[in-house]
């Protein structure tokens, strides 16, 4: 028998299979050594990358995620450090204790690396509910696949309250905010509820390239006939920084007895919004027992004093806010010295609209710029891709990020 090893031809005589068996063993040992070397190289590359990116923790399962949350909630901020999610995690619909509190927020970088959390369930009777409760850092590349995120006042699929950055995240869980009675004399408002974020604090807040598919609703606890208004958005309940390149397809239902509510397909109340797309229907009503005050409802944003640029709404926008300066618009509910330009909205005859693109302004300087109402979704999509075709694409009838 001829056996060729490393370019050398050897004549072998097979006797009882001994020589051939030893050759097989040598070949297997060589393959095992190569595999071991490859694993060691991958581990070395991981260690190098972790050092470069200052990765201090890799999370691989539910217990490790719970332990991480416990460390944050006990006071470890992880400032300057990066936490990486290494696997998809199923939380099994156990009541989740969010990562970070008002007193002890998460302040590092959490990178999901494209992994997901499923069956996320939170406590409906507590504030600051979401995967994260309070963050001053960066949360990115993580998706919520399923669950029911419930809570009072500050509720978001990814994070309830942040002054940091949220990038490339999505939520498919339903989000339910519960309003509670506040002191009206102090001018306080209740819920900040969003598919991605409940409340983004400060001008430094930034939400980028996120989408929501979960339905969002607000209920009251029937403790009073007067429940002060909620801020509700498909992406952010409130964002006084910037919301950019985001999409919402979840339905928004605000039927509790609210006054002065701010509701939008992307953001309820906030600053600048650009290159965003809403296809979720919005049903924003207030009970017959009270007037609606200065409520605002918009297909993209409920109320803003910032710039709304290249935003599109194909969802239906409905409201019974018809009294006392209430404003409902296909793209923007109310502008406060703001600007709305290059925005398009789909005409919806079966819903009650007070304005068209903009429901109403609070000052003489408000401007709609070159924004238009169109009669069909095909025309709106044509305009959308004309303006934003480098940022979005359509696959099997679904709008996606490029």
Burial class (CB within 10 angstroms; exposed 0-12, middle 13-18, buried 19+) of 31: exposed
3-state secondary structure of 192: strand
**Distance, CA of 351 to CA of 40 (rounded, Å):** 62
pLDDT band at 116 (very low <50, low <70, confident <90, very high): very high
Chain segment 188-210, per-residue pLDDT in tens? 556 899 999 999 987 778 999 99
Q: What's the token pair of residue 398?
A: 């679904």
Indicate left, alpha or beta for 71 from its phi (over 0: left) and psi (-120 to 50: alpha): alpha
Chain segment 15-35, per-residue pLDDT in tens? 555 555 666 776 777 777 667
Chain segment 219-264, per-residue pLDDT in tens? 765 554 444 678 999 999 999 889 999 999 999 987 655 567 889 9
Greater confidence, 270 or 38? 270
pTM of full prediction above 0.85: no
Short-list 74, 48, 73, 46, CA closest to 60 = 46
Contact 178, 151 (CB under 8 A): yes
Contact 117, 131 (CB under 8 A): yes
Q: Output the CA torsion 308→310→314→319 (10° steps).
A: 10
The CATH label, of 2.160.20.110, 3.30.470.10, 3.40.50.720, 1.20.1250.20, for the domain at 59-401 is: 2.160.20.110
Burial class (CB within 10 angstroms; exposed 0-12, middle 13-18, buried 19+) of 118: middle
**Distance, CA of 309 to CA of 314 (rounded, Å):** 16
């Amino acid at each position: 028998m001829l056996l060729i090893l490393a370019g050398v031809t050897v004549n072998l005589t097979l006797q009882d299979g001994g020589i051939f068996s030893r050759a097989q063993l040598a070949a297997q040992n060589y393959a095992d050594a190569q595999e071991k070397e490859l694993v060691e190289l991958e581990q070395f590359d991981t260690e190098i990358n972790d050092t470069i990116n200052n990765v201090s923790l890799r999370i691989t399962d539910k217990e490790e995620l719970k332990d991480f949350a416990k460390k944050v909630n006990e006071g470890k901020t992880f400032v300057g450090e990066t936490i990486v999610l290494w696997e998809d995690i199923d939380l099994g619909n156990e009541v989740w204790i969010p990562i970070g509190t008002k007193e002890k927020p998460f302040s590092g970088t959490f990178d999901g690396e494209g992994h997901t959390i499923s069956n996320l369930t939170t406590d409906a009777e507590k504030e600051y509910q979401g995967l994260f409760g309070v963050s001053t850092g960066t949360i990115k590349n993580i998706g919520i696949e399923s669950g029911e995120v419930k809570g009072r006042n500050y509720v978001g699929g990814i994070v309830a309250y942040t002054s940091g950055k949220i990038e490339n995240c999505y939520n498919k869980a339903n989000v339910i905010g519960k309003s509670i009675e506040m002191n009206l004399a102090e001018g306080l408002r209740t819920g900040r509820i969003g598919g991605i974020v409940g409340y983004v604090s400060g001008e430094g807040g930034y939400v980028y390239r996120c989408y929501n598919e979960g339905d969002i609703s607000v209920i009251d606890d029937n403790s009073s006939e007067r429940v002060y208004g909620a801020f509700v958005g498909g992406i952010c309940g409130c964002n006084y920084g910037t919301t950019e390149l985001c999409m919402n397809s979840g339905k928004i239902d605000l039927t509790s007895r609210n006054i002065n509510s701010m509701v939008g397909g992307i953001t309820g109340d906030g600053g600048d919004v650009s290159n965003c797309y809403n296809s979720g229907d919005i049903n924003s009503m207030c009970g017959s027992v009270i007037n609606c005050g200065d409520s605002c409802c918009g297909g993209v944003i409920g109320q803003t004093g910032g710039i709304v640029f290249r935003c599109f709404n194909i969802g239906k926008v409905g409201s019974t806010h018809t009294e006392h300066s209430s404003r409902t618009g296909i793209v923007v509910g109310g502008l406060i010295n703001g600007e709305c330009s290059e925005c398009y909205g789909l005409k919806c005859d079966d819903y009650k609209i007070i304005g068209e693109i903009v429901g109403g302004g609070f000052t003489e300087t408000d401007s709609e710029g070159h924004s238009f109402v169109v009669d069909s979704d095909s025309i709106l999509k044509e305009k959308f891709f004309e303006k934003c075709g480098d940022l979005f694409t359509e696959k099997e009838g679904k709008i996606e990020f490029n």
